[in-house]
């Protein structure tokens, strides 16, 4: 019975995750065929060649964590407001409104930001008040703004859920024991909401690490991620083995960061609750 229930997911993972991963792994040790694509071989050259793409790795590994952090910092007060201050009648409505941007295509939204951040957008308005020579589009700032904008709706709900579960009497107990509102926030609210922050951050971080549309549009090819490097390697230069090696490196980096991060969160927050997330 259990086996039967697990079968669909098992087949799914086998054909769409494990086998493709194995293929990528095998490819990463191969050679580029003269006409592009894969030729069987066993060499570490592709891995030794990784530094050639270090810029993509550096960009991804700085902007993805930074974007996640920014999103979490901006999402937390929103989630707190929803969970604590807004009357239950309006909560669902407001949550839906936060999700509303998802109703339009991601591409359209990025095009809107290209306009906003471009020379005729925000920089031109800033010029009106005397702040000139501001460049936003095709800079890391544009990518960060896009990250926060695009992923905020994913970050708010998990934090909201953990804050909503938070027993408000604990906050009273903390105040009763002499903790100022700020201390209460850092000693009670934040640690107890940490599982939600961790879940939201994981979601956003994983998506950002693998993203290529965001840097493509708002980074304009100047601020590129590993995802852009992959598109370039597989579709343009058709160097599949090197692309495979870059992919394997990306997967490994993600595994290590996520593992380290979860370990950290679990050691800090309420173990029992964090384990449920």
Partner 1 sequence: MKQNVIEFRNVSKLFGNVAAVIDNNLAVEAGEFLSILGPSGCGKTTSLRMMAGFEQPTSGEVYIRGENVTGVPAFRRPVNMVFQHYALFPHLSVQDNVSYGLRQRRPRPATADVAKAVDEALSMVRLDGYGSRRTYELSGGQQQRVALARALINRPAVLLLDEPLAALDRKLRRDMQVELQNLQRNVGITFLLVTHDQEEALSMSDRVCVMREGRLVQVGTPRELYDKPVNRYVAEFVGKSNFFKAGEAGKVTSVRPELIDVAKSKKALPDGLVTSTEAKVLNRIFLGEQTEYRVASESLGEFAVVTPRKAEREAGAFDIGDRIAVGWRAEAARLLPDE
Q: Which residues bind partner 1 (CB under 8 A)?
A: 167, 169-170, 172-181, 183-184, 187-188, 191-192, 269-270, 272-273
CB of 167 to partner 1, least distance (A): 7
How many residues are recorded in the chain? 277
Of residues 181 and 221, the one with the C-beta less far from partner 1: 181
Of residues 65 and 191, the one with the C-beta less far from partner 1: 191
256, exposed or middle or buried, with CB in 10 Å at 0-12, 13-18, 19+? exposed
Number of Cβ within a 10 Å radius of residue 28 = 22
CB of 267 to partner 1, least distance (A): 11
CB of 80 to partner 1, least distance (A): 17
Cα–Cα distance measured from residue 156 to residue 275, given in angstroms and rounded to the nearest whole number: 20
Summary count for the chain: helices (H), strands (E): 15, 2
Q: CA triplet 138, 142, 147: central angle to 5 degrees?
A: 130
Of residues 71 and 174, the one with the C-beta less far from partner 1: 174
Of residues 97 and 170, the one with the C-beta less far from partner 1: 170
CB of 266 to partner 1, least distance (A): 11
CB of 182 to partner 1, least distance (A): 10
| Nearest Cα residue to 143 out of 178, 110, 100 | 110
Of residues 136 and 171, the one with the C-beta less far from partner 1: 171
């Amino acid at each position: 019975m259990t086996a039967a229930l697990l079968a669909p997911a098992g087949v799914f993972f086998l054909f769409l995750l494990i086998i493709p991963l194995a293929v990528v792994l095998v490819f990463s040790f191969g050679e580029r065929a003269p006409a592009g694509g894969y030729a069987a071989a066993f060499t570490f050259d592709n891995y030794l060649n990784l530094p050639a793409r270090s810029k993509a790795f550096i960009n991804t590994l700085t902007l993805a964590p930074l974007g996640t952090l920014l999103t979490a910092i901006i999402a937390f007060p929103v989630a707190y407001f929803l969970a604590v201050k807004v009357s239950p009648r309006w909560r669902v409505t407001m949550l839906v409104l936060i999700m509303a941007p998802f109703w339009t295509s991601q591409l359209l939204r990025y095009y809107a930001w290209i306009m906003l951040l471009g020379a005729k957008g925000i920089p031109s308005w800033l010029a009106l008040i005397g702040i000139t020579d501001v460049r936003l589009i095709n800079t890391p700032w544009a990518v960060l703004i896009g990250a926060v904008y695009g992923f905020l709706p994913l970050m708010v709900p998990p934090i909201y859920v953990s804050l909503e579960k938070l027993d408000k009497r604990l906050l009273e107990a903390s105040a009763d024991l002499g903790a100022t509102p700020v201390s209460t926030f850092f000693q009670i609210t934040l640690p107890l909401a940490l599982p939600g922050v961790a879940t939201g951050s994981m979601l956003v971080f994983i998506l950002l690490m693998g993203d290529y549309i965001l840097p493509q549009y708002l980074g304009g090819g100047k601020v590129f991620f590993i995802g852009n490097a992959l598109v370039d390697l597989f579709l343009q230069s058709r160097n599949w083995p090197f692309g495979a090696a870059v992919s394997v490196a990306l997967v490994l980096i993600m595994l290590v960061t996520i593992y380290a991060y979860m370990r950290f969160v679990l050691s800090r927050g309420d173990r029992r609750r964090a384990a449920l997330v």
